[in-house]
Every structure is written in structure tokens, then in C-alpha cells.
Chains A and B, each alone.
Chain A
Amino acid sequence: MDAFPILSLVLWLPALGALGLLLVPRENAELARRAALIVALLTFLVSLALPFGYRATPGDATTMRFVENLPWLPMFGASYSLGIDGVSLWLVLLTTFLLPIVILSTWDSVHVQVRNFQILMLLLATAMIGVFISLDLLLFYIFWEFTLIPMTLLIGIWGGSNRIYAARKFFLYTFSGSVLMLVAIIGLYVLHRDALAATQPGYAGTFNFSAILANLRSGALQLDATVERLLFGAFFLAFAIKVPLWPFHTWLPDAHVEAPTAGSVILAGVLLKLGSYGLIRFNLTLFPEASRWAAPAVAILAVIGIIYGAIVAFSQSDMKKLVAYSSVSHMGFIVLGIFALNLEGVSGAMLQSINHGLSTGALFLIVGVLYERRHTREMAEYGGIWKVMPVYAGITLLVALSSAGLPGLNGFIGEYTIMQGAFLAPELGWPFLAFAVLGVVLAAVYLLRMYQSVFMGDLRNPQNQNLSDLNPRELTALAALCVPIIALGLYPAFAFGPMQASVGETLAGIATAVAGR
């Protein structure tokens, strides 16, 4: 019996909502916001069924759950094939969780063409969820590329003064990165088809990820070492640009600074995770031997990113830029964890992906709150804000500490696990750990410096005298973010649980490769 297609529902609800929003009159901003919020909340509620259903599904811990399969391009073996495992589960939830929060923030930060903004945001949500749950390489690529269109328009239409440059740079950077991935996907398809056609004449091939993986592991499809490295490289480039790994990060500060608050939150919260997800799902799983080969080099780039991002963040006077560069640093941690190639590292990277989505998303919201009141993000303009906005200051402290990795909050668990993984990895070891620790220290330095200069001290600037504290909407959004920040810090096993088996499955190929040496 076919189960209820819950993944399709989660996937298409936002897109259907976007279509429905077309019926809302253009001038009626309030209605558009409310409708979008309802759609987003509905999507989140439906997606809540996923973790519970996931736990309730007994059986083999390593396989995909909620699988849906419909033929789409039968002559190429491409299908509408969806499914999630412990790796994608939390990322889908992160997306559906952030969506209503982001839409809530548009009441204060988006004032023109509100309806179209919501339409694009909902379309973007569908595309991002699609990336996380596609089990078909072609379908994955389509969702992957489609994320570019709404995001580019979000930056380019609603962004700041330099928005056109940022939007263009964002699109061209990520588009150029992913076209090579298309070649790799095609290449993998052809190699797989030809390998199997040798024993099954007339075999049409497939784009199904699980099928290709199974044949890779069984040896039915064997990749030459050079070919494997080339394919690895093509996938890697696309994901490294998206993450972004140093030195591919230059689009990120521009995009973040120019994007409207809601855009920044979704960009940092989810869009960057498409890259880390891709690295785990495709690079590690499909090309274990090449991953091992590339691990030290990638880890070096990751460490450079950690330190570089932290130092540049420290030297910013603009708060949004600071948070943007802190993203480069934090995403470096995630990549380091992934290429530790062990259970600790990859699980930590997964958890840190979620953490970063929550904490950095919250930081962008926080910057947005001040920006909407004073229309400047220069730290020098502020000081002593604690006195006029105590609730806001308290939440900011919590979020900043979470981002800096204070024990008891979510960031600590992720960073600790990643460092443990890096230390235990035979390819990496203590030098990487040392630099990572330095990165953690620097994160505390720049975040606390920002906190100090904005919130503490005297209320120097008279313009800040009458700032109002958080309004109910802002409070709701930020408080909602604080719940998982604390919960994951206190009881990370909740997230780690379903993740372990899937991460183990991901690394199975690497374990075999190591054992075979």
C-alpha cells in the first residue's frame, strides 16, 4: 500500500501557497503577509509529522523513509523520487521552521511589493525543501538551480543600495559553480548506464541516487581513480561555492549585506546548508576514495576560512557584515567536520548546520530589528542599547553566546563534536584542532566586542533615547528561535539520535575504502 505522500505535501504546500497568493490584490500587503504566514505555519505543522513518523517507522535504520517514486522521464530513468533520512530530516525541519519566522519579519522589513516578496519566498522554500528530499539526481539539480531565481530577485528587488551588483554576483557565482555539477551528474549517469548495459543489454540507465550508490558499493559500477576525482571535483566546486568555503566566499558578504533581513535569514539559515548537505550526501557517499584523497586539502581551506572569516569579522564596523563574515568562519567549521570523515565529525557538522541556521538566522533578525529603527548598522552609532531595549538585549546575548559556542547552548555541542572528529581523523589530527580552537576563541572575541559596543556602556547617542523594545511580532520570532537554541544545547541526543544511523550509512563507503587499503 502506498503511504500518504507527506513529503510531496511538505514540498508543494509553499508553492501552492505562492500560486494562491496571486489571487491577493497587489495593494493588499497585510492580507498577503497573513496568507503567507498561514501557508508557512501550515507547512511547518505538516512537516512536524516527519520526525515523529521517522521514529515510529521501524525497520532498517539505514534506508530512506517516506519514499515516493513516480516515473518522470522514463527513457532516461529519471523519476520524481523523494525520501529523507537522518541527514535530511533536520534540514527539512530547519527550513519549515525558519519559514514562518522569516515571513513574520517581513512586517517590519518589507514595505514595497509585499505580495510578490511572499510569493518568491514561498517558491524559494519549495525549491530548498526539494533539494533536501530529492533522491533523483536530475530532480535534485533542477531544485538546486531553481533556488537561484527567487533568491536573486529577493536580493535584487528588495535589497540595499548596492543590490544589483550583489544579486548579479550571487547568481553568476553559484550558477557557474553548478554547471560543472551538471556535467558530473550526466557523466555519472552515462558511466553507470554503460557499466550496467554490459550485463543488461538495453538498460536505460537511472538518475536514482540510491540505485547508483548501491551499484557503486556492490562493484557493478567501478570508477577509475582519476574519473572519480574529476567527478568529485565537479560536485565539490558547486557545493564549496554554496557553502561558501574560502576562497569561494566572496559573493556571500555582498549578498548578505544587500539582502533584506528576511533574505539574509533564509540565505544564512538554509541556503548555505544546501552546500554542506550536498557535500555529505553526494561527495562523501558517492566518491569515498576521492573524499579521502581530498580531505587534507579541503580541511586546510576550511581552517583558513575559519580563521580568515573570524579576523575579517572582527575588523568590521557594520554589524551585518560582521555576521556575514562570521558565517564564513562558522561554515568553515562545518566543512572541517565533514572532511574529518568520521562519525563524530560528520554528525557534528550536521548538528552545526542546524545550529548555524538558528543562531545566524537569529543574529540577522537581531541586526534587522535595530536597522528598522535607526536605518544604520554602524556599531559606532549605538551603545548602551541595553538601557532602552532590555528584552532585545537579553535575547541578543543568548544568541551571541550560542553563536560563540558557550557550553549549555547549541553551538557548543556542534563545535565540540566537530573538533573531536577533526582530532580523531587520521588525515587531520591536532594541528587542525588547534586552529579550530583559535577560531572558537576569535568568535567569542568578535561577537562579544559587538555586544559590548552596541549594548553596554552609556547611551551616548541621543538618537537612541527613544528606541522601543521588541514588538510582539519580533519577540515571537526571536523567542521561537531561542527554544531550539536552548533545547539542542541541553539535550542534543534528540537530534543526534536519528542522525547517527544515516551518517554511519554515509560513511560506510569510506570505511570500506580505508579497510581496503
Chain B
Amino acid sequence: MESLQIPPVDLRLLTPLLIVVGWASALLLIDVFFVPDGRKKITGYLAVAGLAVAGLAGIPLWSVSGSTFSGMLVLDRYSLALTWIFLIAGALSIAVALDYLPRHAIEQGEYYPLIMFAVGGMILMAQSADLITLFLGIELLSITLYILTGFAYPRVASEEAGIKYLVLGAFAAGFFVYGIALIFGATGTTSLAGIADYLGRQPFRPQDETLFLVGASLVLIGFGFKIALAPFHMWTPDVYEGSPTPVAAFMSVGTKGAALAALLRVTLAMDAAREFWLPLLAALATATMIIGNLGALGQSNLKRMLAYSSIGHAGYILLAIMVTAERGAEAFLFYMLAYTLTNLGAFGVLIALEQRGEAAWSIDDFAGLYQRRPLLAVAMALFMFSLAGVPPTAGFMGKFFVFTAAYAGGLGWLVLIGVITSAIAAYYYLRVVVKMFMQEPVRDVRPELTRGLNAEILIAGVATLLLGLLPTPIVLLAERSLAALGG
């Protein structure tokens, strides 16, 4: 009998992932045995340190590329760049939670390792070159998020959000797995390279084609749930509203970003089936941009508004994914970074305003913020203008890159929808600015700014401005990181 062949494994390629997951596992124990109650911030600091170490460990890998585990996981500059974005998102999400959790009496040390596990899942998704590992990453991310959304469990809204997310997430996973199975049935492989190979050998048998197309559609629906593309977005506002705000902040950039990153790899692999998925994605992008931005118009709850806004932004990012050949992938990376920083900054301000036991989510609570905390108001205005895409902010540059790529890729009409919805979006972002600067306070909201939060808002603000004024270094980095992708 032939012995089972163990494929060669090069763990070096997975260094950041292993550090994140390994340190998160260790931290769970350290937290229980060594960190006293009431001082759980220490766990948070340790978690940030772990993420920083993982980021630093990635630097020497910049010149390395390769695959391991029989080609199921790859390391290239694209995945490395995404890894860094995810690590930043994780670290900032922990920074805003340091004081949020005790203030809301939901401080538990597990929060920080859980965020790390989620980041691990995201990195796994970015490094996946196989539908199975991709699924693994999605599940690792999702399961931690089910817990995190329900983290404020004495609060019914939080529990409801957790359940809602769990049920819909399970649905999405079902679609995804079934899609993988059908694709496997058609192509005989789950590896992205294998699928690309298979699609290159057209024409194939009609029953295989049907099987493949149905499978690909189901996978796309799975992605749709995770990214919150319209019409699969319904859960988003409720879940964001119910979850602890740092978790909502993390989800708005993290889950979305990782799923979009994976979607980009999948579309690249299925490039030969372009005329099949392009109209589908175009329709999804159109619906997402319109529904997300129109939905945000009517919201007076700022958390819900940001939820809808995040849906709209996913639509813009989707444009970039459709045109990878025309610098779309670069635009995608830039937009992801810009959006991550801006949105986490905006959520940071939201957290500063959130009082214990109740949530300062109403837009009225922002009224007159400028008179009480001018710097906080200026920062929030910066984030709002960036989300709206007004220069000179990161958000404008991101939109500019995405629209240019889409236009060059022949999607001019989608760009038109993009700018029109941006104009609509300006209305609700401006409303926040108007409240803060031009109206009198409605009730007494005392913003609590602590060190972690201050640092987070400062980093996000400075980065938002810098990326808008001098985007060149980041674009160059993105450009280089894509050489390996063949996009």
C-alpha cells in the first residue's frame, strides 16, 4: 500500500498568520491565569503588541513569494499588503475598545484574543489560493464575530444582533459550501489555479458549464452576504446597531475588506468566465451603491447611518474588483486602506460620545460638539468629508483611483452611478458636519476621550489627511504588491 504523501510545508510563508493565531491562543490562557480582573487592559496592550510583532515579521517577507500546503495557501505581496491593512484595522479596533469595555461594564479579557483570531481569519482569507482554505478563513472570522457581536450580552440588542448575524451567517456559509461543491463537481478541483486552468480549456461539456455557473453564483451569494452587497445587506444595519461599537467598527472594515480581497482573487481565477460574472457584479454594485446611500439618507441613528454608508462603500470597492486589469487591484488596495482608516476614525468619535448604559447614537447628540470639543469635531468633520469623497482627503483619492480604473475598464456608466450616489451621500455626511458646527447642543453629552481613543483618532485623522495629500508612496507600494498577482 502506498504511503500517504505529506506535501512539503513552508511555515515561513505563514509567519504573520501563525504569530497572530499563536499569540491569540496563548493570550487566552495568559489572560485567565496572569491578568487580574479589572486590569484587563493589559491583555489589550499585549494583543496590540502581538499584532505589531506580526506586522514587523511580515517585512522580511516582502521579497519572498511562494505557496505551501500543496498550493492551498500563498504568500505574495498582495496578501502581505492586505495583512498589514488588517493588522492596522485590528490594532485600531483594540485601541478603541480599551476604555469602551470597562465603561460599559462588559470588560472581559477574551475580547482581545477574539479580535486577534478574527484578524487571523482575515489574513487566512487573503492568503488563500483554494476555495477550501478560503472557507476556513471565512468561518474563523465569522465564528469569532458571532461571539463578538453578542459580547454585550446583558443588552438585548447585542444578543439579538449576535443571533441575527449567526443565522444569516450560517445561511451564507451554506450557500458558499454548496457553491464550492458544485464548482468541484464541474472542474474537479477547488484550487483557484486549477479552476483558472480548467476555464482556460474551453469549451467544456454543457452539463459541466451549468454546474460551474450555478456553483459560481452560489459562491457569489455567499460573498454577497459577507460583504453586505445589496440585496444581501439586510442584516447589516441591525447587527451594527446592536453590536458593541468597537465590534461594529471592526466589522465595517474587517469582514468586508477580507471578503472583498478574497473575491478579487476568485474573480481573477475566473477571468475566463468574465462575461458571466461581470454583469452580475455590475448589477450588484449598482444596487449596492444606490441602496446603501439611499438607505443612509433617512437614518437619524449614526451607527445605522455608518452601516448603510459601509454598504455604499462596498459598492464602490466592487467597481475596482471588476477591472483588475486597469489598475483596479491597486485602486482596491488604496481604497481599502483609506476606508479602513477613515471609518475606524469615525467610529472612534462615535465611541467617545457613547455614554454608559445608553448609546449616544442619535445624530442630535453631535449638535454643538464643536463648541465643547473642537478638535474632536474637526476630526469627525475630516472623516465625514473623507467618506463623502471631498478633497483633499484619503476618501477622495480612493474614489478617484477607483473611478479612473473603472472608467478605463469600460465601466463608464457605473462610474456615473458612482458619482451620482456620491453626491447623494454628501447630503448625509454633511448633515453630521452641520450638526457639529452649526447647531446648538440638544442635550448634555460628555465625550470621554481616553488615551487609547485619542491615539486612534489622531492616527486615523493624520493618515486620512496624508493619504489625501500625498498618496504616491502608498500607490507605489500597492503597485509593487500587485506585480506578483499577475493582475
Q: A133-152: which residues lie under 8 A (CB-CB) from chain B? A: 138, 141-143, 145-146, 148-149, 152
Counting CB contacts under 8 A, is A216 at the interface?
A: no
Q: Bound complex: CA of A141 vs CA of B390, how far in Å? A: 10
Contact among A75, A148, A186 with B479 in the assembled complex (CB-CB below 8 Å): A75
Q: A189-231: which residues lie under 8 A (CB-CB) from chain B? A: 189-190, 193-194
Q: Bound complex: CA of A76 vs CA of B396, how far in Å? A: 15
Chain A residues whose CB sits within 8 angstroms of the CB of B419 once the complex forms: 179-180, 182-183
Residue pair B392, A142 in contact (C-beta under 8 Å): yes
Q: Bound complex: CA of A182 vs CA of B479, how far in Å? A: 23
Residue pair B390, A182 in contact (C-beta under 8 Å): no
Residue pair B475, A175 in contact (C-beta under 8 Å): no
Q: What would 7 more interface pairs be, CB under 8 Å, given A75-B327, A164-B434?
A: A142-B391, A145-B390, A145-B391, A172-B426, A183-B416, A186-B404, A190-B404
Residue pair A171, B430 in contact (C-beta under 8 Å): yes
Chain B residues whose CB sits within 8 angstroms of the CB of A142 once the complex forms: 391-392, 396
Q: A373-389: which residues lie under 8 A (CB-CB) from chain B? A: none
Q: Bound complex: CA of A143 vs CA of B385, how far in Å? A: 14
Q: Bound complex: CA of A149 vs CA of B437, how far in Å? A: 12
Counting CB contacts under 8 A, is B420 at the interface?
A: yes
Chain B residues whose CB sits within 8 angstroms of the CB of A171 once the complex forms: 426, 430
Q: How many A-B residue pairs have CB under 8 A?
A: 81
Contact among B408, B426, B433, B472 with A72 in the assembled complex (CB-CB below 8 Å): B472
The interface on chain B, measured as residues whose beta carbon lies within 8 A of the other chain's beta carbons, has a size of 32
Task: Identify 15 residue pairs between A and B in the complex whose beta-carbon atoms are under 8 Å apart, listed by A's number.
Answer: A72-B472, A73-B475, A142-B391, A142-B396, A146-B390, A164-B438, A167-B434, A168-B434, A171-B426, A172-B430, A175-B423, A179-B422, A179-B423, A182-B400, A183-B415
Residue of B nearest to A182 (CB): B419
The chain B residues found within 8 Å of chain A, CB to CB, are 327, 385, 390-392, 396, 400, 403-404, 407-408, 412, 415-416, 419-420, 422-423, 426-427, 430-431, 433-434, 437-439, 471-472, 475-476, 479
Contact A182-B403, Cβ < 8 Å, known A145-B390, A145-B391, A156-B438: yes
Q: Bound complex: CA of A138 vs CA of B391, how far in Å? A: 10
Residue of B nearest to A181 (CB): B419
Q: Bound complex: CA of A339 vs CA of B11, how far in Å? A: 69
Residue of B nearest to A155 (CB): B438
Counting CB contacts under 8 A, is A163 at the interface?
A: yes
B353 to chain A, nearest CB (A): 21
Chain A residues whose CB sits within 8 angstroms of the CB of B391 once the complex forms: 141-143, 145-146
Residue pair A153, B437 in contact (C-beta under 8 Å): yes
B248 to chain A, nearest CB (A): 27
Residue pair A163, B404 in contact (C-beta under 8 Å): no
Chain B residues whose CB sits within 8 angstroms of the CB of A168 once the complex forms: 430-431, 434
Contact A186-B437, Cβ < 8 Å, known A73-B475, A171-B430: no
Q: Bound complex: CA of A152 vs CA of B476, how far in Å? A: 34
Mask of A155-183 contacts with B, CB within 8 angstroms, 1/0: 01100000110011001100110011011
A125 to chain B, nearest CB (A): 16
Residue pair B404, A189 in contact (C-beta under 8 Å): yes
Contact among A145, A163, A186 with B396 in the assembled complex (CB-CB below 8 Å): A145
Q: Bound complex: CA of A157 vs CA of B437, how far in Å? A: 7
Residue of B nearest to A171 (CB): B430
Q: Bound complex: CA of A175 vs CA of B388, how far in Å? A: 10
Chain B residues whose CB sits within 8 angstroms of the CB of A194 once the complex forms: 408
Residue pair A176, B404 in contact (C-beta under 8 Å): no
B375 to chain A, nearest CB (A): 11
Residue pair B476, A75 in contact (C-beta under 8 Å): yes
Q: Bound complex: CA of A73 vs CA of B403, how far in Å? A: 16
Counting CB contacts under 8 A, is A247 at the interface?
A: no
B245 to chain A, nearest CB (A): 27
Mask of A62-98 contacts with B, CB within 8 angstroms, 1/0: 0000000000111110000000000000000000000
Counting CB contacts under 8 A, is A53 at the interface?
A: no
Chain A residues whose CB sits within 8 angstroms of the CB of B430 once the complex forms: 152, 168, 171-172
Contact A76-B404, Cβ < 8 Å, known A141-B391, A167-B434: yes
A242 to chain B, nearest CB (A): 15
Contact among B385, B390, B400, B438 with A163 in the assembled complex (CB-CB below 8 Å): B438
Residue pair A73, B426 in contact (C-beta under 8 Å): no
Chain A residues whose CB sits within 8 angstroms of the CB of B431 once the complex forms: 168
Q: Bound complex: CA of A73 vs CA of B390, how far in Å? A: 18
Counting CB contacts under 8 A, is A187 at the interface?
A: yes
Residue pair A186, B434 in contact (C-beta under 8 Å): no
Contact A176-B426, Cβ < 8 Å, known A149-B390, A183-B419, A187-B412: yes
Q: Bound complex: CA of A141 vs CA of B391, how far in Å? A: 8
B391 to chain A, nearest CB (A): 4
Contact A175-B434, Cβ < 8 Å, known A183-B403, A186-B407, A186-B415: no
